[in-house]
A and B are shown apart, each in its own frame.
Chain A
């Protein structure tokens, strides 16, 4: 029976049967969409994890509400940031959390794929690897943005946080925020490049996040570092320090883009971006090329 069928099949039919599938994802945009959507679907399949993550993000802000009850408003106002510690700290905590998840998103997802043995599979498909990296990063931004807005909303609606919200201050905060993402994403690219080669942990992101939280003034006014010139100098070498200052000036003091302090922050962030982004892209590319050359896309 089988031999009769085989005899009846024409050469054209045989070719058609055995030929490979046409790659379905040709456009970069569709590949990008595919990566973001796949990643979101995986995340949403862990519903309890998503809820716990959201609640813990909000809990971390509520905690600073109670810390704020112990802060002397006079001492805070002397540093020029108003009298509400919660308003001051919520900007620090929310942006630091946001930055942490954005910084680590790409490196964690690469680590996850390597460990799951799927990075190699993705690398041999027609998906452009840089589209894959951009897609993973974009998913991080998107999800973390929801958390960020949730935290700010809880602060404003439930805990009495007061921001100065007019067109000028919001535009200023947004401009500084975007520059903060660009300049810090470069560090995320470096972290991802290094993690591909060295596999374990995420040392770059860890150092940046720890020092950011300690020295960028997330929980205390930066003026306090004046007594420690070395710490102050280190704090000025992180883009996040300028970003936090700019966003606070916009939302707490109502500063606009014409404010000289905000302009100084924007200039510093632009310089960081110009220098760090090429470095980040280079390290990411180096990491990917290295593991391909060594055949280590699925070793961990």
Chain B
């Protein structure tokens, strides 16, 4: 072997150049899709689970009176009210919890340390881990809404209401990506048991008016419910999809403003919290611990 060959043989591979931001996010997306698609049985079971959950309320709707809905200013249709509530709550739940679960999985599998010690920054990592889960969540959301329509939910779909719903849905996604990042920060530090995800799944179920209008709650619980972005998102989405209101409605614009304020305040806080948790676990050397 000539000296030149030995040097070439033992030499480290030359970095292939800077991989772009979008290319990295795309790589995360493809990886997660491939993993998800490996478990086809689970894809099917998840769909069945979501649909049966929605269908249960077809029967509950048969014994409910619409008085509380009328008092709250909604169309007197409990089935449509709950189909929207459940579908979007499941969307939020899967999106918020799945980011923490993804990080937990990376911790268990010992891959988080590898990824984060590469040239992939934490912002790309967070976005990459979230994107596919939001896409899957959106797929389930549409399936749940379609199931609702099949069993009798009446959605008002005009150009204005659909466009306004899309805006509300985007704000819902943005506000819960912020919450997901906070949850991810908590899981990096705590490893097991995530108070952020817990609060945004269980407490929103109780306080955000998924199965009943908020007027039924006592004042102090209504006040607590006002802290969660799902409360405003659901109100706005229901006004669009049940009554056909659009962004020109003062009530919907109120919801939009509150969601924007939530995002503006919480986005820097959640990124700061994740960065702190990330730096702290790196310093402690506990990034890969579980």
A residues lining the B interface (CB < 8 Å):
46, 48-49, 52, 55-56, 59-60, 62-63, 66-67, 69-72, 75-76, 79, 85, 115, 200-201, 203, 206-207, 210-211, 213-214, 218-221, 224-225
**Across the interface, which residues of A come within 8 angstroms of B100, CB to CB?**
none
**Across the interface, which residues of B come within 8 angstroms of A62, CB to CB?**
206
**Across the interface, which residues of B come within 8 angstroms of A207, CB to CB?**
45, 48
**Across the interface, which residues of A come within 8 angstroms of B48, CB to CB?**
207, 210
Contact with A along B184-210 (1 / 0, CB 8 A): 000000101101001001110110000
Tell which of A63, A203, A214, A221 touches B205, judged by Cβ atoms closer than 8 Å.
A63
Tell which of A49, A56, A67 touches B211, judged by Cβ atoms closer than 8 Å.
A67
From B2-10, B60-68, B251-259, the one touching the partner chain is B60-68
Contact with A along B30-55 (1 / 0, CB 8 A): 00000000010110010011001101
Q: Is B122 an interface residue (CB 8 A)?
A: no
Given A52-B198, A56-B202, 10 more contacts at CB 8 Å?
A: A60-B205, A62-B206, A66-B217, A67-B60, A69-B68, A71-B63, A210-B53, A214-B52, A220-B59, A220-B60
A75 close to B63 (CB less than 8 A) = yes
B residues lining the A interface (CB < 8 Å):
39, 41-42, 45, 48-49, 52-53, 55-57, 59-60, 62-65, 67-69, 78, 108, 190, 192-193, 195, 198, 201-203, 205-206, 211-212, 216-217
Say yes or no: A60-B64 contact (C-beta < 8 A), given A201-B42, A210-B52. Answer: no
**Across the interface, which residues of A come within 8 angstroms of B64, CB to CB?**
70-72
Say yes or no: A85-B63 contact (C-beta < 8 A), given A70-B216, A214-B56. Answer: yes
Q: Name the distance in Å between B162's Cβ and chain A's nearest Cβ.
A: 28
**Across the interface, which residues of A come within 8 angstroms of B62, CB to CB?**
75, 220, 224
**Across the interface, which residues of B come within 8 angstroms of A76, CB to CB?**
63
**Across the interface, which residues of B come within 8 angstroms of A115, CB to CB?**
108
